[in-house]
Amino acid sequence: MKKFPLLIMLILFSCKKDDNNYTKNEALVNIIQTTIPQNGTVSNKTEIGAMAQAENGCYRDIKFKLIKVADFQYTLKAYATFESYGACPEVLVNGDTTISFIPEKKGTYQFTINEQPFNIKVETLIVN
């Protein structure tokens, strides 16, 4: 019976995770596909579709952000939570979304997709 507490302590300390390699942050991930219509109408909803892909299984919860840069300029980015103790499963993680965009003025809207280090793509939406 005297050895029982020692056995419990041994089990607890031997199962402790190594926190030296632990990292958790929000990371930019690659948007691999978008669908933006060529034409739209003022004050009417325009659906923007996007799909992002992260390179390994340490990524989760992919989220998309459409950021207004200027009156007719927007940037679309995707982020995910990256959490690792050092090794990551070799599996691709995908996420997709549909954003309801309502243009406020007539004109040509420019959408910049991604940012460095990923390939940057620019798409336009002409609003009448």
Alpha helices, H only, the chain: 3-14
pLDDT at 20: 80
pLDDT at 5: 52
Mean pLDDT over residues 100-106, rounded?
98
| Confidence (pTM) | 0.81
Pairing assessment for the beta strands 59-70 and 73-84 based on DSSP bridges: antiparallel
Minimum mean pLDDT range among 7-16, 92-101, 115-124 = 7-16
Domains of the chain (ranges plus CATH)? 19-127 (2.60.40)
* CA–centroid distance for 24 within its chain: 14
Q: Residue 19 — pLDDT band, cuts 50, 70, 90?
A: low
Instruction: Say whether 13 sits in a helix, a strand or coil.
Output: helix
Would the CA dihedral through 35, 41, 46, 52 be positive or negative? positive
Cα–Cα distance for residue pair 113/128, rounded to 1 Å: 23
Q: Residue 116 — pLDDT band, cuts 50, 70, 90?
A: confident
Asked whether residue 1 carries a pLDDT value surpassing 80, the answer given is no
